[in-house]
Amino acid sequence: MTIKEKGYTHWDGEFLDKKLPWWPITRYGIKLTFRKKFFKLIFPMSLLPAVVFLAGIYVSERLEDFKFMFRESVPFLQINPAYFKTYLVDNFMLNIMIIIVIFCGAGLISDDLKHNSLQLYFARPLKKRDYFFGKTAVIVFFLFILTLVPGLVFIIMKLVFAGSFKFFLSYPWLPLAVIGYSIFVTAFFSFYVLFLSSLSKNRRYVVILIFGIYLFSDIFWAVFYEYFHNHYFSLISLRANIQQVGAFIFSQKTPYPIPWFYSLLVLTAICVLAGLVLKKKVRGVEIVK
Amino acid sequence: MSIEVKDIHFSYGKIKALDGVSLDLSQGAIGLLGPNGAGKSTLIRIMLGFLSPDGGEGRILDYDIKSQQAEIRRYVGYMPEDDCFIPELDAVSFTSYLGELSGMPRQEAMKRAHEVLYYVGLEESRYRKVETYSAGMKLRLKLAQSLVHDPKLIFLDEPTSGLDPQGRTEILELIIDISSKKDIQVLISSHILPDIEMTCSYVVILNKGIVASEGEISKLKEIRDLYEIKVMGEAQVFLRKLKDLKCRVEETEDGILKVYTPPNYNRQEFFRIAAEEKIQLRHFVRSQSSLEDLFAEAVGVD
């Protein structure tokens, strides 16, 4: 069939005045992430710690039933801000977050750079910030499922299992801490991942960068500490900085004896740098001066 | 006027890409011609709002190019020159996705994606992933995405580059169909002069960032008189005298002289000079200049 036989009809619909013009970017980003074979396996597994911690909350309210399993002298399952901090801030959760953002975030910008698709986005009535919101929201979606959602569910289930508001009255700020930390860690990882994703057209290099920088910043901190015995070197470790700020948010003792806001400053500086690079790298047309 | 730009200036660092371009274009298919680096793509990118001009002003479909870029992009389709797509999507998802980003409701974007893919001849392979497409299919897909939101104006940047003759003919037929029967204005930027001649009625020739020539192709051809002459005898002095009279002369391989005369040139001059130099005019035909001739004259190459 030749082209001319097919005809072309004008569209008689009306454009929506969308309040969230970036939403299709997010929806497609989430959809494409779930199409990845390994992600389908890994993502449910990443929720296992949340299930275990939720079970812990249940057990904490049924201590009498489970007492036979433990020696009496062992302080067993105290549900307090430290419990939340253990779930949200400790190494295992940060490692899970890194794995998840590698799957959902590494290709977000690098694939667009590789396939020259930025010009397709910016030939639409989208602003640069819509593009960033759309891409960021993909990372936010997955990280909130790992942090904010379980954190709030833990609080709600604790109240449900306890059948009283005593826990809430003891720690009225805890929901805010969960929300605050989730936003903080998600914002940092969003900037971190999008920044690295914008540096290469090859998604594999971006994966190596995301994982490598996170890992080696920690290794360097350990090496420097061994040599100089100075805790300030923890400022070069992304993990240590997140944990410093996380500990402060949950009103816990910081893991290293240095002010927590130094870590916040370091992470903020990384985010600002990432924002500046992103602004420069992401545009509808590549300009070679 | 659908495209109206006035005194547009733009530089990439120290390199001037556009130096006071002014255009006032309305209906039909418009060809944007120019050698590499003439500023064609830069002009399109400025009109789409990808680049902000250093100076000048303009309106596309009556929207200001500096302050109403979102509106322009809503009603303008753009088919980039580069190979560009979003991986891991099939053609339907890809096209409807871009329709949604244009502001179409989700279901209508999907419906419309099927329609335009059918229109550009990709109906059989619309569920295949985009990265598995051939160059020709990708080009059709780029055209489909530029049409999905039913634009009033389309910018086509090198729409036939890398196509085989059959594919090229089909795309050109499609462009002619869009511009002549679908009430969509088309601006085609291309290096391939026959493509422009086949599809466009109006042409703008850019050279070194300025408008070297513009107008209806048929009228531009009329303005320039071209004569094909074959002479017998000593032609050198004859040619020199023609050049003194501001004629441009090209010699073809088979010995025919193509003489472009200035406006209001009296063709009796040919015979007068020939008589003076005692040479015979064996062949004398008034010919029509081609777009290639116009282009060569505008950009100053032989």
For residue B74, list chain A residues with Cβ-Cβ distance below 8 A.
15, 124-125
Residue B219 identity: K
CATH number, domain at B244? Answer: 3.30.70.100
Together in a domain, B133 and B58:
yes
ipTM of this model? 0.87
Torsion angle in degrees (nearest 10) through CA of B46, B49, B52, B55: 60
At A82-131, the pLDDT tens digits run 999 999 999 999 999 999 999 999 999 999 999 999 999 999 999 999 99
Chain A interface mutation, best of B101, B102, B111, B148, highest count of A Cβ atoms under 10 Å: B101
Q: Contact B45/B194 with Cβ under 8 angstroms?
A: no
Together in a domain, B231 and B88:
no
Together in a domain, B259 and B155:
no
Residue A30 identity: I
- Of A144 and B266, more confident: A144
Across the interface, do A28 and B89 touch by the CB < 8 Å criterion? yes
Together in a domain, B191 and B70:
yes
Split into its structural domains, chain B has a count of 2
CATH number, domain at B124? Answer: 3.40.50.300
Two tokens at A286?
A: 């590549």
Give the nearest chain B residue to A22 (CA atoms).
B101
pLDDT at B7 over 80: yes
Can you say whether the dihedral through the CA atoms of B130, B131, B133, B136 is positive or negative?
A: positive
Together in a domain, B288 and B247:
yes
Out of B179, B200, B218, a domain closes at B218
pLDDT at A286 over 60: no
Helix H, strand E, coil C: the string for A1-50 is CCHHHCCCCCCCCCCCCCCCCCHHHHHHHHHHHHCCHHHHHHHHHHCHHH
Size of interface A-B (CB pairs under 8 A): 130
At B48-97, the pLDDT tens digits run 888 889 999 999 999 999 889 889 999 999 999 888 899 889 999 999 99
Task: List the single residue in A13, A120, A127 with the smallest CB-CB distance to B104.
Answer: A13
A253 Cβ under 8 Å from any chain B Cβ:
no
pLDDT at A288 over 50: no
Domain that holds residue B67: 3-218
At B158-198, the pLDDT tens digits run 898 878 888 888 889 999 998 888 889 999 998 888 888 88
Segment B26-38 mean pLDDT: 86
Out of B218, B245, B266, a domain closes at B218
A90 Cβ under 8 Å from any chain B Cβ:
no
Two tokens at A249?
A: 């948010």
For residue A24, list chain B residues with Cβ-Cβ distance below 8 A.
97, 100-101, 106
3-state secondary structure of A74: coil
Q: Which of residues 24-83 of A touch B (CB under 8 A)?
A: 24-25, 28, 32, 35
Give the nearest chain B residue to A34 (CA atoms).
B88
pLDDT at A24 over 90: yes
B93 Cβ under 8 Å from any chain A Cβ:
yes
Cα-based distances in Å from B134 to A9, A117, B131, B294 = 27, 17, 8, 35
Segment B252-263 mean pLDDT: 81
3-state secondary structure of A288: coil
Across the interface, do A287 and B51 touch by the CB < 8 Å criterion? yes
Helix H, strand E, coil C: the string for chain B is CCEEEEEEEEEECCEEEEEEEEEEECCCEEEEECCCCCCHHHHHHHHHCCCCCCEEEEEECCEECCCCHHHHHHHEEEECCCCCCCCCCEHHHHHHHHHHHCCCCHHHHHHHHHHHHHHCCCCCCCCCEHHHCCHHHHHHHHHHHHHCCCCCEEEEECCCCCCCHHHHHHHHHHHHHHHHHCCCEEEEECCCHHHHHHHCCEEEEEECCEEEEEEEHHHHHHHCEEEEEEEECCHHHHHHHHHHCCCEEEECCCCCEEEEECCCCCCHHHHHHHHHHCCEEEEEEEEECCHHHHHHHHHCCC
Binned at pLDDT 50, 70 and 90, residue A1 comes out as very low
Q: Residue B16's CB: how many other CB atoms inside 10 A?
A: 16
CA distance A27 to A9: 28
Together in a domain, B235 and B180:
no
pLDDT at B222: 67
Together in a domain, B181 and B273:
no
Q: Contact A66/A84 with Cβ under 8 angstroms?
A: no
Residue partners of B193: CB distance under 8 A and separation at least 6 = B33, B290, B291, B292, B295
Tell me the average pLDDT of chain B.
87
Two tokens at A19?
A: 């309040």
Out of B218, B253, B277, a domain closes at B218
Together in a domain, B212 and B64:
yes
pLDDT at A45 over 70: yes
Looking at chain B, how many residues does it have?
A: 302
Together in a domain, B214 and B277:
no
Together in a domain, B169 and B237:
no
Together in a domain, B152 and B259:
no
Together in a domain, B136 and B234:
no
pLDDT at A271: 97
Q: Which residue, B93, B102, B94, B138, is CA-closest to B120?
A: B138
pLDDT at B162: 79
Helix residue ranges per DSSP H, A234-289 = 238-249, 260-281
Two tokens at A164?
A: 């009283």
Please report, for chain A, the start and end positions of each structural domain, with discontinuous segments joined by +: 23-281
